[in-house]
């Protein structure tokens, strides 16, 4: 038996500690929660994606009475970016969530399916995505999906 230790390093920043670009992306994610359609969960999530040329694409969770037919904010934004700007690599992704008018105090954490999609977008463009998870108490920043999804399945695993 061999033991394999996985270390995860992320950083927590205050809003004032973020650089201008990151602050702008987090603000876009906060604003994007207004596009949330969440009559079932009442949990409004917004996501904002920054592309290499500086374009920002936003998304919000869209629910459906058949629950699995809905989609998270992160994938809404990432798929919209992929569809509209297929040649532009994604460099950063910010997420924010609120219940009613109150944003969460601790950083919102993307679901497993969204982490897998983020991983796929990194693979597609061959570069890590800076991930900013907003909470009013601090913004958790992960350099790429790896710290949030170690041992993940990647396309190249199919062609060893």
List residues binding ligand THU (CB under 6 A). Answer: 38, 41, 43, 45, 61, 63, 70, 72-74, 95, 108, 110-111, 114
Give CA angle at 22 (17, 25), nearest 5°.
135
What is the DSSP code (8-state) at residue 40? T
Tell me the C-alpha distance between 62 and 131, whole Å: 21
Residue 16 and residue 41 in contact, taking contact as beta carbons nearer than 8 Å? no
Tell me the C-alpha distance between 49 and 143, whole Å: 14
> Which residue's CB is nearer to ligand THU, number 4 or number 67?
67
- How far apart are CB 55 and ligand THU at their closest, in Å? 21
Tell me the C-alpha distance between 28 and 51, whole Å: 13
- How far apart are CB 110 and ligand THU at their closest, in Å? 4
Residue 66 and residue 59 in contact, taking contact as beta carbons nearer than 8 Å? no
List the catalytic residue out of 3, 20, 63, 74. Answer: 74
- How far apart are CB 42 and ligand THU at their closest, in Å? 9
74 is catalytic: yes
> Which residue's CB is nearer to ligand THU, number 18 or number 108?
108
> Which residue's CB is nearer to ligand THU, number 8 or number 52?
8
- How far apart are CB 135 and ligand THU at their closest, in Å? 12
Token representation of residue 122: 């990194």
> Which residue's CB is nearer to ligand THU, number 82 or number 107?
107
Residue 87 and residue 62 in contact, taking contact as beta carbons nearer than 8 Å? no
Annotated catalytic residues are 74
């Amino acid at each position: 038996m061999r033991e394999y230790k996985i270390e995860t390093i992320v950083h927590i920043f205050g809003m004032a500690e973020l650089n201008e670009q990151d602050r702008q992306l987090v603000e876009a994610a906060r604003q994007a929660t207004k596009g949330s359609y969440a009559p079932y969960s009442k949990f409004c999530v917004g996501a904002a994606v920054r592309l290499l040329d500086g374009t920002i694409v936003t998304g919000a969770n869209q629910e459906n009475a058949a629950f699995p037919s809905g989609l998270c904010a992160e994938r809404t934004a990432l798929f919209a970016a992929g569809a509209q700007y297929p040649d532009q690599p994604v460099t950063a992704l910010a997420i924010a969530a609120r219940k009613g008018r109150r944003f969460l105090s601790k950083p919102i954490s993307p679901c497993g399916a969204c982490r897998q999609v983020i991983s796929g977008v990194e693979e597609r463009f061959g570069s890590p995505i800076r991930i900013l998870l907003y909470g009013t108490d601090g913004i958790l920043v992960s350099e790429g999906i790896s710290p949030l999804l170690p041992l993940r399945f990647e396309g190249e695993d199919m062609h060893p």
